[in-house]
Amino acid sequence: MSIGSANKNNSTLKDTLELMQQLMTDHFVERLQSGEITPSELNTVRQLLKDNHIVVSPERSEGLGTLGTLLPDFGSGGGDGVEEEEEAEEDDHQGIHFN
């Protein structure tokens, strides 16, 4: 296989994967807008967003902000290291952040 052939195959694979991701995204948007999305599909959407490091800050989403105020505070003085692990994990990922 020549270098040109390998580059063409890589380009074709990249294009195919991008198309698959776009089709999947379009499908989930349609399902969300129709209100017919299943819990399993919602989980897949959540994982897709997480895997691609796409997050929305609570300040930008009224619903997320409200949900956040309803959660109990688990981080006060426990010293369990969870917050430190989460912060370290956030620093390791580059993604799309909507602040």
- 32 and 1 in a common domain: yes
Predicted pLDDT at 20? 95
Q: Which residue has the higher pLDDT, 46 or 90?
A: 46
Tell me which of 29 and 86 has the higher pLDDT.
Answer: 29
- Do 7 and 27 lie in a common domain? yes
Assess if residue 24 is contained within a domain.
yes
Number of domains in the chain: 2
| Domain carrying residue 56 | 39-65+92-99
Quick one: tokens of 38?
A: 């299943």
Q: With H, G, I as helix, E, B as strand and everything else as coil, classify residue 92.
A: helix
pLDDT at position 52 is 85
Residue 1 inside a domain? The answer is yes
pLDDT for the residue numbered 88: 47
Q: What is the pTM of this model?
A: 0.55
How much helix, strand and coil, in percent to the nearest 5, is found in the chain? 70, 5, 25
pLDDT in tens, 30-85: 999 999 999 999 999 989 988 988 887 767 777 766 766 776 676 765 554 444 44
